[in-house]
Structure 1
Amino acid sequence: MTGREPQPTADAADPADPADPADAAVEVAGLCVRFGAVDAVAGVDLRVEAGQALALLGRNGAGKSTTMRVLAGVVPPSAGRALVAGHDVHAEPLAAKRAVGYCPDVGGLVPRATPWEHLQLSARLRRLDGWEPRARALLEQFDLGDVAHRVTAGFSHGMGRRLSVVLAALHEPRVLLLDEPFDGVDPVGVEATFTVIEDARARGAGVLVSTHLRDLAVEVCSEVAVLRAGVRVATVSADHMAGDEGARAYRALLA
């Protein structure tokens, strides 16, 4: 730790990054999402470079999961621009979805299907060839090999989280979106998720991680974006969010 207070690299009032959005893994500018009279996201700007991992931190209702759902093509934007791997999620939804691997914050699994059946379905939908060795390796990495042929209805919350990360990572996407991947996950699962993120960065993918766990976020991400009430209030180096000083700085940003 440097002992310095973290300095935001940008705030919600800053103009959009003038760099070419096609060069970024994720480019979000002026993103707004409204549900009736509620502004779930109210003008968020984000940029994730290829090979970078960015963490989204904030309280419940800050807009983290809604932003992730827009990027995954689950929720349409009400205004603004959202691109993944250079594809506009509104204008090019299929191309954008092909570029993304998405671990949702809740749901996403079929209770009466096994992990292997989930992987088979994902591979068929994405027309993957030779996917079985990677699938087996990921299941073993996440300590799910012994339950590969058990229906997920009896899985614990942590086991479901681990399987969701496996499904997101299977096709080696250009953009990896992990929403609360550490929630209820044991140390083996946390370490396996770290490895998936590091491998994605090494092959040039962009990674966006939404989590409540600041200490884990700063271990695996290079930058942290803090959302409050649907607005990005700061983007800071992960180093400045580490330790006790980082905890105090984070609380100040949420106040």
Structure 2
Amino acid sequence: MGSRVGAVIDVAGLQVRFGTVDAVACVDLQVEAGQALALLGRNGAGKSTTMRVLAGVVPPTSGRAVVAGHDVRTEPLLAKRSVGYCPDVGGLVPRATPWEHLQLSARLRRLEGWEPRARGLLEQFDLGDVAHRVTAGFSHGMGRRLSVVLAALHEPEVLLLDEPFDGVDPLGVEATFAVVEDARARGAAVLVSTHLRDLAVQVCSEVAVLRGGVRVATVSADHMAGDEGARAYRALLA
């Protein structure tokens, strides 16, 4: 079965089981070109596992997961080429510098003329001064910012940002917002997983709420904003 018309990210009936535990029980999501969707939910709701499936890191147990027209199960390499992924944890080599991370990414993806964009992103995320320092001494927030830079470097059709704001200062938040807006302007589909509802509604147009590995609602970002949004969110998690 192919992807639904207009959906760059198309997830239907997704289940991911580890042993006897359903990390994702039944998730349906669609993100169109130029759209940013936030995944909200408590720890263990299935947000990161869903992102890992779309990034090609974890295989689905059942259901469909399609990115940019490529099924992650049957066309894994093509799917991965379409994606820029910022994982929730890890992903960086402690003994490598930011510039070496970018060089490796560019070589693996066979990018040409990538250096000016790489320098611009590093400056945008206030990492220009540490471009040639090994990441072992980086703070958690610096690592988060570099992970977003690496995800965005090749201007992917699908941008997956898992907890990009965790421990990040206002400058990093603003830079991440700009990356999301740039991706949307290019017609990319963006999925942002975060536990920070107030930031999610600022950067995304829609919000999907996960609970117990199931999508319980998809609503407009406006519906999740402010005090009324906080009450609505709590009700969905109850």
Superposition deviation, residue 251 in structure 1: 0.3
1: CA distance between counterparts of 2:153 and 2:8? 18
Superimposed CA distance per residue, residues 127-180 of structure 1 (whole angstroms, 9 cap, x where no aligned partner): 000000000000000000000000000000000000000000000000000000
**Secondary structure, counterpart of 1:80 in structure 2:** strand
| Alignment-derived partner of residue 190 in structure 2 | 207
Rounded to whole Å, the distance in 2 between the matches of 1:47 and 1:71 is 12
Matched residue SS, 1:204: coil
Q: CA deviation at 1:182?
A: 0.1
Deviation at 1:76, TM superposition (A): 0.1
CA deviation vs aligned residue, 1:83-104 (integer Å, no higher than 9, x gap): 0001000000000000000000
Q: Which runs of 4+ in 1 moved over 4 A?
A: none
Aligned length: 232
- Whether 1:234 and 2:220 are equivalent positions in the alignment is no
- Distance, in Å, in 2 between the alignment partners of 1:25 and 1:224 is 17
Matched residue SS, 1:56? strand
Give the CA deviation at 1:231: 0.1
SS at match of 2:30: strand
Pick from 141, 148, 155: which aligns with 1:172?
155
1:67 to partner: Cα distance: 0.1
Cα distance between partner residues in 2 of 1:139 and 1:50: 26
1:43 Cα deviation after fit: 1.1
How many Å separate the matches in 1 of 2:22 and 2:203? 30
CA distance in 2, matches of 1:165, 1:220: 15
Match of 2:78 among 95, 99, 110: 95
Aligned match for 2:167, one of 178, 181, 184:
184
CA distance in 2, matches of 1:44, 1:162: 28
Which digits, 9 at most, give the CA deviation of each residue in 1:60-107, with x for residues without a partner? 000000000000000000000000001000000000000000000000
Match of 1:141 in 2: 124
User: For 1:129 and 1:93, how far apart are their aligned partners in 2?
Assistant: 23
Separation in 2, partners of 1:52, 1:100: 15
RMSD: 0.2
Determine the structure 2 residue equivalent to 1:196.
179
Q: TM-score, normalised by structure 2?
A: 0.97
Local SS of the residue matching 1:196: helix
SS of residue in 1 equivalent to 2:230: helix
Structure 2 unaligned segments of length 5 or more: list them. 1-6
Counterpart Cα distance in 1 of 2:174 and 2:113: 26
Inter-partner Cα distance in structure 2 for 1:50 and 1:98? 17
Where 2:104 maps in the other structure, the secondary structure is helix
* Pairwise CA distance, 1:25: 1.2
